[in-house]
Structure 1
Amino acid sequence: MSAAIHIESLTGRALHDRLDDLAALRIAVFRDWPYLYDGDPDYERRYLATYAEAPGSVIVAAIEAATGRVVGAATGLPMCHEPETLAGPMRQAGYDIDRLFYFGESVLLAPWRGTGIGVGFFNAREAHARALGRMSHACFCGVVRPDDHPRRPAGFVPLDGFWRRRGYEPVAGAVGEISWRDLGEAGETAKPMQFWARAL
């Protein structure tokens, strides 16, 4: 990873001072395929503040050394704090929810992709989960879009290969659900989210 970037876990005052930056980052990155998220800054600030206050949670930021600008962020928390629309499918797949750590998202501005920051995000969250002392597995989920979706870019390469190199595999039958408003939609719709997991 470039020396121009440092990765740090944000907590307390440092986290609250960065909420606007983190909200803007999520909105910018999630507008792109495959999420197509039509984000709202006020919702994002509330989401991140609530997320940060959950016991055992972590928010990791990639910060540009020269400017102090946040160029990427990743979140994680024990799955027991997530709603049944996410926890339920993993419970049904045989996982102990009290020992499962959930990676909420990983967002990074395009110029910094492919520089090792994504690996750093996984390493930091896995280390945090292990330090909690009771987590046996880590998991995350990715949106499932149809191959013929009209907004799918030509030549799009999914992140499956990157995730597999990190040791994650899809969990058969474990599909959660998250609702948001797509670009051009009038309101929120539920999106299927395929889970991936690995032992810690």
Structure 2
Amino acid sequence: MVLCVLIGVGVLLGWLGVKKGLYAMFATLFCLMFSVYIGVLATPKIVRISHGLEQSPYYAAGCVFGMTLLVFLFLWLTAYYYFLRDDLDYFPPLIDRLGGGICGFLFGYILTGMLFLLVCIMPFSRNKGLPEFCRYDTLSRYSVPAVVKTCNFIADYSLECFYGDSEKCIEILISLSDEPSRTDAGVVPSVQQGGR
């Protein structure tokens, strides 16, 4: 079911990409990939300095979502203002439609993977009473690889080759819903031990 949702959203946004064209959809895809990268890698540092909320998985999920959304809006509005306002044909029609469809599909796949990761960070995804397709095991099987590959791709091409940092950050974020709150016992939270 989760794979069907990932593919379904990808196909819908791929169809939108065919309409918008390669140039606009590539810019939008790049904005999403970069915002996912910043949102995932910056959140453990934000959570670490948020006193009293270091162990809150809902706060961490909100930080990932908020950071990703803010960075995406800033990048996309900047790209729109400087590059995407003019409706010019930069590519031949076939390449424009085909490339736009591929970029739209990837946009939908990454966006859905990111949203599923946010659900995995929150403790209710561990509830055994949920339907199978909403549980942590099912969602994480598809969401974590999509987000990790996106972060590693941006890290490799931005010359910030911190191989393994995205995996560590995602493990830290997901582990917040596994651990009981131990701040009263004086135990140092795992978020403060992870990351750089």
TM (norm. structure 1) is 0.30
Higher relative contact order (CA 8 A, sep 6+): 2
Query: Computing the radius of gyration over CA atoms, which structure comes out larger, 1 or 2?
Result: 2
